[in-house]
């Protein structure tokens, strides 16, 4: 009896779910004043090419306060609990304590690079690297061939960012981790171009550094 009832109920629920899915915005956290789902008015937060898994059930309260009152008159009512990396670190690995942590995380927080709800780019990125990097860093870091200021990555005055990321179009993320690393300057110990087998061992020197990369011999650079 129970199982037949269960099956009938679940057929009904599937039909209901299909009907409900047509209005992708239903379900999830409800507004205390109107009784409506938050997502029914804030549709853009739960639509787009990539939707944050944290919103898969259209729940808002993991990140927003849910005190009572009319939030359309008082924006603090459903305000974000915390805009800092602390909010994100409740579910994601914290980068704190690693040898080098991208100052972007402390200075501008995760939402300097990521959108919290949904995005048209993978990984919820606002834009993709290298353009993403140049929203905060100056392009002269790479464009200028000779320099004694724009970068510490140089041989004499030859800009080695220009040689690698410019002329040879090596992606920023081939050498740098976007979040943090056990080596200085966010230099990845392994995983260049997604290949774990490629390792990069970096040691800083007073006027430069030394890199041992598994695809070329140890090379050093010295600034003038």
What pairing do the DSSP bridges indicate for beta strands 100-101 and 154-155?
Answer: unpaired
DSSP for 178-197, please give it.
SSEESSGGGB-SB-GGG-TT
Distance CA 43, CA 65 (A): 19
Residues 6+ apart with CB under 8 A from 109: 83, 84, 85
CA dihedral 153, 142, 184, 148 (to 10 degrees): 30
Q: Nearest approach, Cβ of 208 to ligand HEC (angstroms)?
A: 6
> CB 146 → ligand HEC: shortest distance, Å?
14
For ligand HEC, the closer CB: 48 or 208: 208
Instruction: Specify the residue, 10 or 99, whose C-beta has the smaller distance to ligand HEC.
Output: 99
Residue 7: strand, helix, or coil: helix
Q: Least separation, in Å, of the C-beta of 165 and ligand HEC? A: 4
Of 7 and 139, nearer to ligand HEC (C-beta) is 139
d(C-alpha 223, C-alpha 153), whole Å: 8
Least distance in Å: CB of 18 to ligand HEC? 21
Task: Decide whether 15 or 124 has the Cβ nearer to ligand HEC.
Answer: 124
10 or 135, CB closer to ligand HEC?
135
Nearer to ligand HEC, 24 or 129 (CB): 129
* Residue 219, Ramachandran bin (φ over 0: left; ψ between -120 and 50: alpha; else beta): beta
Nearest distance from residue 179's CB to ligand HEC, in Å?
A: 6
Minimum CB separation of residue 119 from ligand HEC in Å reads 8
Q: Any bridge partners for residue 221, and if so which?
A: 209
């Amino acid at each position: 009896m129970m199982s037949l009832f269960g099956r009938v109920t679940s057929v009904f629920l599937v039909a209901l779910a299909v009907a409900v899915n047509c209005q992708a915005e239903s379900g999830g956290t409800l507004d205390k004043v109107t009784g409506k789902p938050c997502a029914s008015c804030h549709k853009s937060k739960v639509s787009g090419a990539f939707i944050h898994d944290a919103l898969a059930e259209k729940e808002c309260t993991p990140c927003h306060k849910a005190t009572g009152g009319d939030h359309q008159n008082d924006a603090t009512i459903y305000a974000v609990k915390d805009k800092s990396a602390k909010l994100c670190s409740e579910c994601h690995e914290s980068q704190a304590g690693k040898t080098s942590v991208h100052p972007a995380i402390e200075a501008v927080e995760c939402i300097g690079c990521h959108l919290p709800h949904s995005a048209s780019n993978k990984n919820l990125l606002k834009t993709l690297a290298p353009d993403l990097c140049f929203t905060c860093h100056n392009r002269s870091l790479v464009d200028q061939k000779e320099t004694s200021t724009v970068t510490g990555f140089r041989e004499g005055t030859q800009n080695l960012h220009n040689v690698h990321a410019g002329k040879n179009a090596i992606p920023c993320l081939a050498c740098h981790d976007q979040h943090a690393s056990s080596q200085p300057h966010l230099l990845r110990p392994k995983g260049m171009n997604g290949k774990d087998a490629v390792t990069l061992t970096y040691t800083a020197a007073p006027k430069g550094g030394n890199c041992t990369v598994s695809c070329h011999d140890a090379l050093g650079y010295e600034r003038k």
